[in-house]
A and B are shown apart, each in its own frame.
Chain A
Amino acid sequence: MTVAVASPTSSTTARFSPRWLSDRLGGLVLHVAVIGLTVAWMVPTIGLLITSFRLPQDISNSGWWTALSPPFKFTLDNYSQMFAASNLGQSMFNSFMISIPATVIPVTLAAFAAYAFAWMKFPGRDWIFLALVGLLAVPLQLTFIPVTTELVRLGLTPDKLTAAGLPPFIPLWLAHAGYGLPFSIYLLSNFFRALPSDLFESAEIDGAGTLTVFFRIVLPLSVPAIASLVIFQFLWVWNDLLVALIYVGGVATVAPVTVTLVNLVGSYGQNYQLLTAAAFFSMIVPLVVFLSLQRYFVRGILAGSVKG
Chain B
Amino acid sequence: MDFNVLLTDLPTLVAVVVGVPLVLAAYIVGGEYLVRRLPDKARPAVRPWIWVAPALLLVTGFLVAPAIGTVFQSFEDRHGAFIGFQNFAAQLTGFPTGGAWIAIRNNLFWLIFYTLFVLAFGLLLAVLFDRVPYESVVKSLIFMPMAISSVALVVIWKFMYAYQPPGQPQTGTLNFILNTVFHQDPRTWIQDETQLLGLFPLNDLALIGAAVWGIVGFSLVILSAALKGIPADLLEAARVDGAGEITIFRRVIFPLMMPTVVVVGTTLVIFALKAFDVVYAMTNGNYQTDVLANRMYKLLYNSNDFGGASAVAVILLLTVIPVLIFNLRQFRAVEARR
Chain A residues proximal to chain B, CB less than 8 Å = 30-31, 33-35, 37-38, 41-45, 47-48, 51, 60-66, 89-90, 93, 96-97, 100-101, 104-105, 108-110, 112-113, 115-117, 120-122, 125-126, 128-139, 141-143, 146-147, 150, 165-169, 173-175, 177-179, 181-183, 185-187, 190, 193-194, 196-197, 209-211, 214, 224-225, 227-228, 231-232, 235, 239, 241, 258, 262, 272, 275-276, 278-279, 282-283, 286-287, 290-291, 294-295, 297-303, 307
The interface centre, meaning the residue of B155, B169, B232 with most chain A CB atoms within 10 A of its CB, is B155
Contact A139 B156, beta carbon cutoff 8 Å:
no
Residue of A41, A115, A125 with most partner-chain B CB within 10 A: A41
Residues of A within 8 A of B118 (CB): none
Given contacts A126-B332, A294-B136, contact A113 B51 (CB under 8 A): yes
Contact of A108 among B24, B162, B225 (CB under 8 A): B24
* B84-92, B191-199, B214-222, B247-255 - interface stretch: B214-222
Contact residues in A for B35 (Cβ distance below 8 Å) = 210
User: In the complex, A78→B335 CA distance in Å?
Assistant: 55
Instruction: Check A42–B160 contact: CB distance below 8 A.
Output: no
Q: Known contacts A34-B138, A45-B156, A51-B159; is A283 also within 8 Å of B55 by CB?
A: no
**B239 CB, nearest partner CB in chain A, Å:** 13
A190 to chain B: closest residue by CB: B263
Q: Which residue of A lies closest to B14 (CB)?
A: A167
Would B313 and A178 count as touching, CB distance under 8 A?
A: no
Q: CB-CB < 8 A to B334: which residues of A? A: 193-194
B54 at interface, CB cutoff 8 A: yes
Q: How far is the CA of A275 from the CA of B178 in the complex (A)?
A: 27
State which of B59, B146, B300, B327 has its C-beta within 8 Å of the C-beta of A135. B59
Q: Quick check: A178 and B52 within 8 Å, CB to CB?
A: no
Query: A210: which B residues are within 8 A, CB to CB?
Result: 32, 35, 47
Binary CB contact string for chain B from 29 to 66 against chain A (1 if under 8 A, 0 otherwise)? 10010011000000011011101101110110111111
Contact B49 A122 (CB under 8 A): yes
A51–B260 alpha-carbon span in the complex (Å): 38
Quick check: is B15 within 8 A (CB to CB) of the other chain? yes
Query: Are B222 and A187 touching (Cβ within 8 A)?
Result: yes
Is B316 interfacial (CB-CB < 8 Å)? yes
B169 partner residues in chain A, CB cutoff 8 A:
62-63, 66
**Among A167, A177, A181, A225, which residue has its beta carbon within 8 angstroms of that of B11?**
A167
The answer to whether B83 has its CB under 8 Å from any CB of chain A is no
Residues of B within 8 A of A (CB): 1, 5, 9, 11-13, 15-16, 20-21, 24, 28-29, 32, 35-36, 44-45, 47-49, 51-52, 54-56, 58-59, 61-67, 69-70, 124-125, 128-129, 131-132, 136, 138-152, 155-157, 159-160, 162, 169-173, 176, 213, 216, 218, 221-222, 224-225, 228-229, 231-233, 259-260, 262-263, 266-267, 270, 273-274, 276, 293, 296-297, 300-301, 309-310, 313, 316-317, 319-321, 323-324, 327-328, 331-332, 334-335, 338
Whether A63 contacts B171 by the Cβ 8 Å rule is: yes
Question: Interface majority SS on A: helix, strand, loop or mixed?
Answer: helix
State A45–B48 Cα separation when bound (angstroms): 46
Inter-chain contact A136/B58, CB cutoff 8 Å? no
Do B20 and A105 have beta carbons less than 8 Å apart? yes
Nearest Cβ distance between residue A49 and chain B, in whole angstroms? 10
**What chain A residues lie within 8 Å of B67 (beta carbons)?**
135, 138, 142-143
Q: Which residue of A lies closest to B210 (CB)?
A: A44
- Most B C-beta atoms less than 10 A away, residue of A37, A137, A182, A272: A137
A266: shortest Cβ distance to chain B, in Å?
14
| Complex contacts, A295 vs chain B, CB 8 Å | 136
The answer to whether A120 and B48 have CB atoms under 8 Å apart is: yes
| 8 Å CB contact of A282 from B131, B149, B338 | B149
> How far is A278 from B65 in the complex, measured between Cα atoms in Å?
37
A34 shortest CB reach to chain B, Å: 5
10 contacts between A and B (CB under 8 A): A62-B169, A63-B173, A121-B44, A139-B296, A187-B263, A232-B221, A235-B147, A283-B147, A297-B224, A298-B228
Residue of chain A at shortest CB distance from B147: A286
Are B1's CB and A31's CB within 8 A? no
What secondary structure prevails in chain B residues at the interface with A? helix
A276 touches B62 (CB 8 A): no
- Contact status B51-A143, CB under 8 Å: no
A258 to B241, CA, bound (A): 54
> Considering the complex of A and B, which 6 residue pairs feature the smallest CB-CB distances, nearest first?
A178-B62, A279-B152, A116-B51, A143-B66, A239-B149, A113-B55
Asked whether A41 lies within 8 Å of B152 as measured between CB atoms, the reply is no
B141 and A38 contact, CB distance less than 8 A: yes
A81 CB to closest chain B CB (Å) equals 16
Considering the chains assembled together, what is the distance between the CA atoms of A253 and B173 in angstroms? 39
Residues of A near B58 (CB, < 8 A) are 109, 174, 177-178, 181
B157 contacts A44, C-beta separation under 8 Å: yes
Residues B139 and A209 in contact, CB atoms below 8 Å apart: no
Contacts of A190 in B (CB 8 A): 259-260, 262-263, 331
Q: What's the Cα separation between A113 and B117 when bound, in Å?
A: 31
Say which residue of B20, B66, B148 sits within 8 Å of A138 (CB atoms): B66
* A178 contacts B59, C-beta separation under 8 Å: yes
Question: From A115, which residue of chain B is reached at the shortest CB distance?
Answer: B51
A45-B145, A48-B152, A235-B147 in contact; A175/B56 too (CB < 8 A)? no
Beyond A37-B128, A228-B225, whether A134 also contacts B55 by CB under 8 A is no
- List the B residue with the shortest CB-CB distance to A215: B28
Q: Are B56 and A299 in contact (CB under 8 A)?
A: no
A186 shortest CB reach to chain B, Å:
7
A232 to B266, CA, bound (A): 16
